[in-house]
Chain A
Amino acid sequence: MKKLSARRRHPLAALVVLLFALAVTGGLYAAFAPADKAQADDTAQSLAIKEGKKLYAVGCASCHGTGGQGTSDGPSLVGVGAAAVDFQVGTGRMPAQQPGAQVPRKKPIYNNAQREQLAAYVASLGAGPTIPEKSQYNSEGADIAKGGELFRTNCAQCHNFTGKGGALTDGKFAPTLEGVDPKHIYEAMETGPQNMPSFGDGSLSKQNKKDIIAYLGAVNGDESESPGGLDLGGLGPVSEGLFGYIFGLGALVAVAIWVAARTTKAKKS
């Protein structure tokens, strides 16, 4: 120790200390640095964001602004999250065809890869809801009856009691939920597209959302049962009344005419 201490003013001492410090720092970095795989993910992610930005600049920026800040023609996309993009682009609502009361569902324009890139870019603008996992919206472990109760409390006012949709004000409408991908239903609840209010986890828990989706699958699928017979679109008294007036009364009128009709007379010879 004394020997070392004696050489502390040697001209090469500073160099030795410097080399030692560099070696320690490098070693520590090598030990704690993130794994190579994570690095690869990072680059894939940043690549997706880059690609997404290009797509965004072409297809979305005219309404939502060059940096997603929003313009008078479209809302800000900062903080809407990947779930909102996956819903809007995945159901074909975005890019919008024309301005109007409501942007309707149509055939998607972007393919899956492009949609993921767009989602990655918009998610990078600000933290927001992520695209849900399959386990969050499949019917495993869901309570369909509870889902029905929750649906009637929270959703049925606009979407009708079995999700057939309904009218709102000034040309707006709640669309039918028949044949909608469960993932998109989950994303819609989470993000609140257009005039639909959002139902975040503080409003409807993750399990609540799962139950609701399971209920819709049970009442709205191809295999859904309608023990009472013809459900006539599930629209309630409107379609039932129309059917009753046209076919019910029609049948009664036909029978009444038959009853009162002139009996066939024998031909005069």
Chain B
Amino acid sequence: MSETGRHEDVPEENLPVEREAHEGAVTPADDPFADPGLPAHEHRKQDIDERAAKRSERTVALLFLVSMIATVAFIAAYVAIPIDKIVYIWPIGHISALNFALGLTLGAALFCIGAGAVHWARTLMSDVEVADDRHPIEASPEVKAKVLADFKVGAEESGFGRRKLIRNTMFGALALVPLSGVVLLRDLGPLPGTKLRTTNWKKGVRLVNQSTNLPLRPEDIAVGSLTFAKPEGLEEDQEDFNEKIAKDALMLVRIQPQNIKDKQELAWSHEGIVAYSKICTHVGCPISLYEQQTHHVLCPCHQSTFDLSDGGRVIFGPAGHALPQLHITVKDGFLEAASGFEEPVGPSFWERG
């Protein structure tokens, strides 16, 4: 007879003798998933030793006191230290004494408040574990029935279901109200118009050196050099200078004409002097990381790379259009634009095509 058979079939005396649990043996609990309950509360030193509690109290008070002193020091530093005083502090270097003092004192003031509060909570406030049972989220059936009944009475009394004209016009009014907010979006600014497609460059505008503010002559630009130009008449003290130079910025380089691979680029150059927009066609960063031996220009934002000896072609990176070239010529010994940019400068936009 097997011991694995059903208990009913096994006579009592044939069952194996229940062994006594000896020391160290695991006794299976009645409920294997029983709630073990909270561990016994252990007291902190401060709970049982009044001297330790006093010590903690003094530490917390000291932290708050330091915070007070730091705040006073902050105000004193603000008043006393001149704004342009520079001191040497290892390992930071030559820094503003005022900034350093303000940062240090305000930091200490805030940190000490926080540290004091935490130390207070950890050592002195009650740390007895408290269990708070969850209550069921669902409302009782009586409450549910009452709410439904109230709603029905309200709907009946308002006539919402019966007077359809009122209901429908109310829906219409509520639907139309948000439109006024949509219309106000028009105030975000004037429509761009042709702004994205045009610059201040047009036929006959002279190229002016952005560094020296002098009109450029072809002999100013040596092979392998890099020069930045702006259109004549655009001055730095004009109110909209930044807005305009954001589109008009030009870089001029000179490449040996036999090294220019693109036919149109050669035709638009003057004895190897080529003028390109300085604005990346990806998202409009100023690009002028020009390598004079490879004629590559790199954009520092997303590494788009353009070949200035091949029509500004994109040879690497996310830019979608070649760098726009400005057709230049020489009149009375000075460089000038032979026409405006033929294509929009700067980043692509929705309607650009």
On whether the two chains bind one another, the answer is yes
Complex CA–CA separation, A155 to B44 (angstroms): 65
Residues of A near B305 (CB, < 8 A) are 169
Interface positions, chain A 224-263, Cβ under 8 Å from B, are: 224-231, 258-259, 263
Known interface pairs A196-B292, A199-B225. Does A226 touch B219 (Cβ–Cβ under 8 Å)? no
Q: Spot the interface stretch: B68-76, B90-98, B137-145, B164-172.
A: B90-98
User: Are A265 and B94 in contact, CB atoms less than 8 angstroms apart?
Assistant: no
User: Are B44 and A265 in contact, CB atoms less than 8 angstroms apart?
Assistant: yes
Q: Is B47 among interface residues, defined by CB-CB distance under 8 A? A: yes
User: Are B220 and A203 in contact, CB atoms less than 8 angstroms apart?
Assistant: yes
Q: Is A177 among interface residues, defined by CB-CB distance under 8 A? A: no
User: Are B211 and A150 in contact, CB atoms less than 8 angstroms apart?
Assistant: yes
Residues of B near A194 (CB, < 8 A) are 293
Can you name the residue of chain A whose Cβ is closest to the Cβ of B121? A259
User: Are B43 and A202 in contact, CB atoms less than 8 angstroms apart?
Assistant: no
Complex CA–CA separation, A46 to B219 (angstroms): 31
B122, chain A: closest CB distance, angstroms: 5
B236, chain A: closest CB distance, angstroms: 9
Complex CA–CA separation, A208 to B209 (angstroms): 12
User: Are A228 and B95 in contact, CB atoms less than 8 angstroms apart?
Assistant: yes
Known interface pairs A200-B220, A204-B211, A205-B212. Does A229 touch B42 (Cβ–Cβ under 8 Å)? no
User: Are B127 and A263 in contact, CB atoms less than 8 angstroms apart?
Assistant: yes
Can you name the residue of chain A whose Cβ is closest to the Cβ of B217? A202
Known interface pairs A203-B209, A205-B211, A226-B94. Does A169 touch B224 (Cβ–Cβ under 8 Å)? no
User: Are B224 and A192 in contact, CB atoms less than 8 angstroms apart?
Assistant: yes
User: Are B42 and A266 in contact, CB atoms less than 8 angstroms apart?
Assistant: yes
Residues of B near A258 (CB, < 8 A) are 118
Interface positions, chain B 192-242, Cβ under 8 Å from A, are: 209-212, 216-217, 219-222, 224-228
User: Are A231 and B93 in contact, CB atoms less than 8 angstroms apart?
Assistant: yes
User: Are A229 and B92 in contact, CB atoms less than 8 angstroms apart?
Assistant: yes
Complex CA–CA separation, A198 to B127 (angstroms): 73
Residues of B near A202 (CB, < 8 A) are 209, 216-217, 219-222, 225, 227
User: Are B127 and A230 in contact, CB atoms less than 8 angstroms apart?
Assistant: no
Q: Is A197 among interface residues, defined by CB-CB distance under 8 A? A: yes
Q: Is A157 among interface residues, defined by CB-CB distance under 8 A? A: yes
Q: Is A38 among interface residues, defined by CB-CB distance under 8 A? A: no
Q: Is B333 among interface residues, defined by CB-CB distance under 8 A? A: no
Can you name the residue of chain B whose Cβ is closest to the Cβ of A228? B99
Residues of A near B219 (CB, < 8 A) are 202
B271, chain A: closest CB distance, angstroms: 14
Of A197, A230, A263, which one neighbours B290 at CB under 8 angstroms?
A: A197
Q: Is A30 among interface residues, defined by CB-CB distance under 8 A? A: no
A15, chain B: closest CB distance, angstroms: 57
User: Digit string of B130-164 for contact with A (CB within 8 Å is 1, else 0)?
Assistant: 00000000000000000000000000000000000
Chain A interface SS verdict (over half): loop
Interface positions, chain B 61-101, Cβ under 8 Å from A, are: 86, 92-96, 99-100
Number of residues in B with C-beta < 8 Å to the partner? 51
Can you name the residue of chain A whose Cβ is closest to the Cβ of B87? A225
Complex CA–CA separation, A231 to B95 (angstroms): 10
Of A169, A201, A230, A264, which one neighbours B291 at CB under 8 angstroms?
A: A169
Q: Is A154 among interface residues, defined by CB-CB distance under 8 A? A: yes
Residues of A near B226 (CB, < 8 A) are 154, 197-199, 203
Interface positions, chain A 188-229, Cβ under 8 Å from B, are: 192, 194-205, 208, 223-229
A265, chain B: closest CB distance, angstroms: 4
User: Are B211 and A208 in contact, CB atoms less than 8 angstroms apart?
Assistant: yes
Complex CA–CA separation, A203 to B212 (angstroms): 8
Q: Is B319 among interface residues, defined by CB-CB distance under 8 A? A: no
Complex CA–CA separation, A169 to B49 (angstroms): 70
User: Digit string of A164-193 for contact with B (CB within 8 Å is 1, else 0)?
Assistant: 001011001010000000000000000010
User: Are B122 and A263 in contact, CB atoms less than 8 angstroms apart?
Assistant: yes
Q: Is B348 among interface residues, defined by CB-CB distance under 8 A? A: no
Q: Which of B92, B209, B211, B292 has the most chain A CB atoms inside 10 A of its CB?
A: B211
Known interface pairs A198-B224, A198-B225, A202-B219. Does A224 touch B94 (Cβ–Cβ under 8 Å)? yes
Complex CA–CA separation, A229 to B48 (angstroms): 48
Residues of B near A266 (CB, < 8 A) are 42-45, 47-49
User: Digit string of B284-310 for contact with A (CB within 8 Å is 1, else 0)?
Assistant: 001111111110101010010100000
Q: Which of A154, A174, A203 has the most chain B CB atoms inside 10 A of its CB?
A: A203
Residues of B near A263 (CB, < 8 A) are 44, 122-123, 127
Q: Is A153 among interface residues, defined by CB-CB distance under 8 A? A: yes
Residues of A near B127 (CB, < 8 A) are 263
B274, chain A: closest CB distance, angstroms: 13
Complex CA–CA separation, A174 to B92 (angstroms): 26
User: Are B86 and A227 in contact, CB atoms less than 8 angstroms apart?
Assistant: yes
Residues of A near B298 (CB, < 8 A) are 168-169
Q: Is A158 among interface residues, defined by CB-CB distance under 8 A? A: yes
User: Are A225 and B94 in contact, CB atoms less than 8 angstroms apart?
Assistant: yes
Q: Which of B48, B227, B253, B303 has the most chain A CB atoms inside 10 A of its CB?
A: B227
Complex CA–CA separation, A225 to B317 (angstroms): 38
User: Are A169 and B296 in contact, CB atoms less than 8 angstroms apart?
Assistant: yes
Interface of A toward B, CB cutoff 8 Å: 150, 153-154, 157-158, 166, 168-169, 172, 174, 192, 194-205, 208, 223-231, 258-259, 263-266, 268
Knowing that A153-B211, A157-B289 touch, tell me 9 more A-B residue pairs with CB under 8 angstroms. Answer: A168-B289, A168-B298, A169-B316, A195-B294, A198-B222, A203-B220, A229-B100, A258-B118, A266-B49
A-B pairs with the 4 shortest C-beta distances?
A202-B220, A197-B226, A227-B96, A195-B291
**What are 6 A-B pairs at a CB distance below 8 A?**
A194-B293, A195-B291, A197-B290, A200-B222, A203-B222, A266-B43
